[in-house]
Amino acid sequence: MKSGRPEKDLLLSIIVPTYNEEKTLKELLDRVERAPLPANISREIIVVDDGSTDRTLDIIKYLPSRHVIIQHERNRGKGASVIDGLRAAKGDFVIIQDADLEYDPNDYAKLLAPILDGKADVVYGSRFLHAGRPSGMRSISKMANRLLTFWSNLFTGLRIEDMETCYKMFSRPVVDAIKMELVSQGFSIEPEMTARIKKFRIVEVPISYYGRSVLEGKKVKWQDGVSALYDIARFNTPERGRAVAFFLVAGAIGAGTNILLLYILTSVFGFWYILSATASFMIALGVSFYLQKFWAFADASRERLPGQVFTYLLVGLLNLAANDAILYILVERLRMHYVLAQACASAIIAVWSFFAYKRLFRK
């Protein structure tokens, strides 16, 4: 969009995904209707109900006819609602608005400003640009959000503060570019959208936030955070190199488990470092097997499982022997600290392990 505020009449589409939001939906829609916008911008409200089982449908039934209503017969996930909303939206700008009152519609004008001024194609409303922890957000939630944003930035090359924010404002060209590409059905829609808009101009602005607890109806669980780590890698890695990327991530988790246990057994419990390395390696081997089979190489077959376990253990024992030998040489001969030596040994073994495990889990 060209620089300078446009004078023609424009439309903002507001997508409201809902699932069992009988306590907050009516008030949220009232706030959306009253939210101040620039004089030449009108609003289109798109409510997407994702198979609610409470009184949400009764509220939607009596909404004014000017609202666009989309109903899912069954619960499909937030991503499915966002995708349907994006494909139905007619606006020059589109924003996603959760129905739980955590985000304040009075921030719309602030989010629109960079696009109207020609400085951005996408605007993220960041909960972390204000000093301190966002209202109602637990420390563990803040840490998880920070971790996921850091992980996303590593893959996208962006420098944003809040990848998981609900408030994502898109210009029409961005919506047209991504609406038919999006596939995530659940909360993975957040990292997927970030992956697909990374080529556009992105600006962040601070927003208001009032977090709610699980008892108050918050639906995001810790499993969604773990899944997001996978999805960030998946949506930012070309198909051809995906197995390598996932192998490295799974390997890093296994190596991290190995080194952490090595440190605890040696420095906390006082075991000899070679004995600690052997025990921690075997535990990490089990973690790595699960991640490599079901995640990195996406091999869900059960009939091959016994043979794969046997072969994996055999390869693992060879790796263990090589690991302990390398560890001993680095520590005793080169006087390297045992933790650093273990990290070096893990890196050396990882190179040939990739090809061995790729062959093992090949479909």
Distance CA 44, CA 165 (A): 21
Print the SS3 string covering the chain: CCCCCCCCCEEEEEEEEECCCCCCHHHHHHHHHHCCCCCCEEEEEEEEEECCCCCHHHHHHCCCCCCEEEEECCCCCHHHHHHHHHHHCCCCEEEECCCCCCECHHHHHHHHHHHHCCCCCEEEEECCCCCCCCECCCHHHHHHHHHHHHHHHHHHCCCCCCCCCCCEEEEHHHHHHHCCCCCCCCCCHHHHHHHHCCCCCEEEEECCEECCCCCCCCCCCHHHHHHHHHHHHHHHCCHHHHHHHHHHHHHHHHHHHHHHHHHHHHHHCCCCHHHHHHHHHHHHHHHHHHHHHHHHCCCCCCCCHHHHHHHHHHHHHHHHHHHHHHHHHHHHHCCCCHHHHHHHHHHHHHHHHHHHHHHHCCC
Q: How far apart are CA 196 and CA 173, in angstroms?
A: 13
* Residue pLDDT, tens place only, 219-254: 666 677 777 887 888 888 775 556 666 767 777 788
Mean pLDDT value across residues 39-60: 93
Q: What is the value of pTM for the model shown?
A: 0.68
pLDDT of residue 107: 96
Query: What confidence score (pLDDT) does residue 91 get?
Result: 95
End-to-end CA gap in the chain? 47
Of residues 69, 112, 70, the one with CA closest to residue 92:
112
Distance between CA atoms of residues 328 and 273, nearest Å: 9
- Tens digit of pLDDT for each residue in 170-210? 999 999 999 999 999 888 899 999 999 999 999 999 999 88
Please name which of 1, 9, 67, 80 lies closest in space to residue 38, comparing C-alpha atoms. Answer: 9
Q: Where are the domains of the chain?
A: 10-236, 239-360
Give the pLDDT score at 136.
65
Half-sphere exposure of 276 (CA within 13 A, CB side): 22
The band of 258, judged by pLDDT with boundaries at 50, 70 and 90, is confident
Q: What is the pLDDT of residue 294?
A: 74
| Alpha-carbon span 116 to 2, nearest angstrom | 8
Tell me what the pLDDT averaged over the chain comes to.
Answer: 86
Interaxial angle between packed helices 242-263 and 273-291, expressed in degrees from 0 to 180 and rounded to the nearest 10: 150
Return the sign of the alpha-carbon dihedral for residues 333, 339, 340, 342: positive
Higher pLDDT, 4 or 336: 336
Of residues 294 and 332, more confidently modeled: 332
pLDDT digits (tens, 9 = 90+) for 9-26: 899 999 999 999 999 999
Q: Tell me the C-alpha distance between 350 and 225, whole Å.
A: 26
CA 225 to chain centre: 6
**Residue 251 CB: number of other CB atoms within 10 A?**
22
CATH for 10-236, options being 3.90.550.10, 3.90.1300.10, 3.40.50.2020, 3.30.450.20: 3.90.550.10
Q: Which residue has the higher pLDDT, 132 or 309?
A: 309
Say if residue 1's pLDDT is above 70. no
Which tokens go with 90? 């007619």
